[in-house]
Amino acid sequence: MVGADAPVRQSLVHVIRDRGYHCVFVGSVQEALEPLAHGDFLFTVLDLTSNGHDGLDFVHRLKFQSGDPGPIIGVVDERDNHRAVEAASLVVDTVVSQPFRHDELEAAIKEAAAPSAGTRQPPEHALARIGREIELWRSPRMREVLEIIREAARIDITVLVTGETGTGKDLVARAIHSLSARRASPFVKVNCAAVPRDLLESELFGHERGAFTGADKLKVGKFEAAHRGTIFLDEIGDLHPALQAKLLHVLQDGDFSRVGGKSTLKVDVRVIAATNVELQKRVNEGAFRSDLFYRLNVLSIALPPLRDCADDLPEICASLLDDIKTSGDYVNPRITPSALAALARYDWPGNVRELRNILERALILSDSGRLTGEDFERILPVGSAKVAAPERAGGAVVPLAQAEAAFEKKTLEHALLASNGQIAEAARRLRISRATFYKKLSKYGLAPSGSSAV
C-alpha cells in the first residue's frame, strides 16, 4: 500500500487483512521501490491524492522503475472532478473512490488478486468481432493483407497502414494488436486530424500542472497510457512538423517529456500509423519528414478499396446487416441477389463505411426488411457506377438476369466456403431455408464439400 493517509490506511488494511492478505505499507513511491524489487506482491494500492500530490505523477515511476507491482488499485477522492478520475483510469487497473464502499473495494481487491490479473485481455466480444470481420476477407487481395497482418503481429515492429477513407485501417490496427504478444496491454487510438494542433502535443505526451493556462492538473498522455501496449496514430499525414520531430525521437529512443516537464519518461510502446494520403508525396513536397516516414514505414500494409474486392461483398453485407440489426429495430433483414448485383455495380468512394450507411438507409426505407436491387437503385447516387467496362460474353453485354445469376452462384459458393460446407450454417448466413439452399445448389450444379454438409 503506497502513500495513504492514516484514516484511509486503516480502512484499507482492515479490508485487505480480512481477506487473508499480508499488507506492507510505505509512505511514497520512492519507499516502494525497494520492497517491490525484492518481494513478490499480488497487487498494489496507490493513494492518488495523498500528501497534497497528484498521485498520477507517481504511477509512471511505480510501473517503470520498480519490480512488478502487479495490478494497481488507484484510490481517488470522490470530490475529484470527472476528468481526474478518467485520467486515473488510463494508467491504473482499477479506480476506487473514498469514502469507500465496502462492496466496491472488495470487488477491486478480488479482481486484482485473481490469477489472471495483470494480464488483462481485450474484451472477448471485441476479439470475436475482430476475428469475425477479418475472416470475411475472401478476395485474393484481402487474403494477402490478412497474411501480412499475421506477420506484423508476430514481429514487434512499426507498421504503416495506407488506404482510402473507410477501408478498415482501424480494424487492421486492432487486429495486429489483438494477435500480438501485446494483446493483454492497452490499445490506444489517437486521430491526429481530429485534435487541434495546439492540443495534440498534450494529448500525445501529457502535460504538467501549470504548463500553460488552464493546465490545473497533471495530464497523462496517450503514449504513457499505452505503455507495454499499442498506440494507433490515425491520419498521421496531418501531424504538425514540430510534433513530427518529437514523435521521431520517441520512435528512436523510447522516451519523451510531458509538456512543461523536465523529467524524461521511458515507454515501451508499439506504434501503428495510418494515412489516406500519399506520404511519399508529402515527403517530396517537404510537408513530412523523410526520416520519420522511414521510421514509420518499416512494414507497410496497403488496403485495397471496396470496389476492387467484389468477392467480399456478400459476406461483408451479411456481417454489417447483423450489426445493424442488433443496433436498431430491424427484424431479420435480408439481402437478395439483385441487391448484391446493384451494390457490386457501385463505385464505393466511401468504402465499407459508406456501405454500412447505405444498408442502414435502405432498411429504414424498406417495409419488409427484404432488400432488393430496386431499393438500392433509389438511394445510390446517380452517375456512380464503376468506370470499368461491362462484362461481356461473345462481344455482347451480358444481360442483367445472367449477371444476377452469376452473382447468386458466387454468393452460394462463398457461403459454403465460409461455413466449411455446413448447409445449415450457410443457409443461415444467407437468411434462407435449407430447402431453398439445396434447390439453389441444384440449380447451379453446386455440391456441398464433405460429409459434414448434411
| CA distances for 321 relative to 95, 139, 189, 325, 408, angstroms | 37, 20, 26, 6, 18
Q: Answer whether residue 84 shows pLDDT above 70.
A: no
Tell me which residue range forms the domain holding 407: 308-453
pLDDT range class, residue 275, cuts 50, 70, 90: very high
- Listing DSSP states for 132-178 in one string gives HHHTT--SHHHHHHHHHHHHHHHS---EEEE--TTS-HHHHHHHHHH
> Can you read off the three cell numbers belonging to residue 286?
517537404
pLDDT, one tens digit per residue, over 164-205 is 988 889 989 998 998 899 988 889 999 998 888 888 999 999
Is 45 within a domain?
Answer: yes
Is 367 within a domain?
Answer: yes
Is 118 within a domain?
Answer: no
Report the number of distinct structural domains present in the chain: 3
pLDDT range class, residue 122, cuts 50, 70, 90: very low
| CA distances for 390 relative to 227, 338, 345, 386, 401, angstroms | 52, 17, 9, 9, 14
Q: Answer whether residue 119 shows pLDDT above 50.
A: no
**Boundary-marking domain end, from 304, 335, 368:** 304
Judged by average pLDDT, the poorest of 154-158, 177-181, 314-318, 427-431 is 427-431
Predicted TM-score (pTM) of this structure: 0.61
Report which of 54, 59, 57, 86 is spatially closest to residue 72, judged by C-alpha positions: 59
- Are 81 and 59 found together in one domain? yes
At 49, which amino acid appears?
Answer: T
**Boundary-marking domain end, from 304, 339, 362:** 304
> What is the DSSP secondary structure assignment for residue 207, as one 8-state letter?
B
CATH code at 136?
A: 3.40.50.300
Is 1 within a domain?
Answer: no
| CA distances for 29 relative to 9, 10, 209, 336, 429, angstroms | 15, 19, 19, 63, 55
- Are 199 and 223 found together in one domain? yes
Alpha-carbon distance of 322 to 3, in angstroms, equals 50
- Are 337 and 443 found together in one domain? yes
> Can you read off the three cell numbers belonging to residue 281?
508525396
- Are 250 and 283 found together in one domain? yes
Kind and range of the H or E element at 393? strand 392-393
pLDDT, one tens digit per residue, over 31-74 is 777 777 666 677 888 877 654 444 555 666 666 555 567 778 88
The pLDDT mean for the chain works out to 77
- Are 293 and 172 found together in one domain? yes
pLDDT, one tens digit per residue, over 396-405 is 444 555 656 6
**Boundary-marking domain end, from 270, 304, 338:** 304
